[in-house]
Amino acid sequence: MRRTIHLTLLAFAVAIFLLRTAEAAEPTAAPITCILGAFDDELTPLYRVITGPKEEVLHGIHFAVGKLKGRNVVVCRSGIGKVNAAMVTALLVQHYRPSELIFCGIAGGINPDLRPGDIVIAAKTAHHDFGNLTTEGMEVRGTKSPMTWLRNPVFLEPDARLLALAESAGKRLKLGDIETSEGKRQPRIIKGVVVTGDVFVASPAKKAELRKALGADAVEMEGAAVAQVCRDLRVPWLIVRSISDGADHNALQDVDSFTALAAQNSAHLVMDIVGQLAAQPAAKKAGK
């Protein structure tokens, strides 16, 4: 019996040693950046420049694993809508343990000063369709964490470091001129409010409501869901969106015309951010 106890204690000590060794080794692992887009057209500019790509498939979801600007990256299509985006984000975090996660792609313009090809870096994001719908209208509320059951704020804010890198990229990046009926124009890059809902907004009335109620600059269908998952799982995140339409009566036609331009511009900003990450010392993961 005594020998059994000694062996048990020895095995326990070895297990603790191995666990502590693994925990100590984790921060030295090469950092990896995960980049999500809702559909392939949003990610095509990134797929084209990944070096050494290989495909991995988890639960039927396809991931492109390789390097971008010397940084280890995983690029993946999430699918359209909040449920799809949340599911794939959770899978990414569980399997790849990313240092940060960036969502990029297109959006409808709510800010009247924005035009197709302009970029909004989300300084904050919110679910515009979560809350209480009453006779007075929509009362937007924050979601509750499934782990703590505490209510999240209505507006979720990205990682400050990633936001600073995005702002730096925006000041430096030179995007191609856009031909308009009034001549050429240089795309604008602003920091603003990006709101999310499970509807494609093509309504001047809804556009005005989102601007008034939430101060929205752009509207899309995935960002706040990604932000919520990353916030709860303590992964630094950032949302980058380029305008494809005006979220008005012409939106369904404009999104077909300007998706390629908007996807290219948002991807170029993300590439610059990834390049900056590659040039910096590895940051500790949240919670470490």
Residues designated as active site: 42, 245
Tell me the CA distances in angstroms from 228 to 8, 179, 196, 245, one per residue in order: 43, 37, 11, 25
What's the CA gap between 90 and 36, in Å, rounded? Answer: 12
For helices 40-47 and 251-279, what crossing angle results, to 10°?
40
The three-class DSSP label of residue 280 is: coil
Say how many CA atoms lie within 13 Å of 19 toward its Cβ: 6
DSSP string, 123-158: EEEEETT-EEEETTEEEE---B-TTT-PBPPSSB--
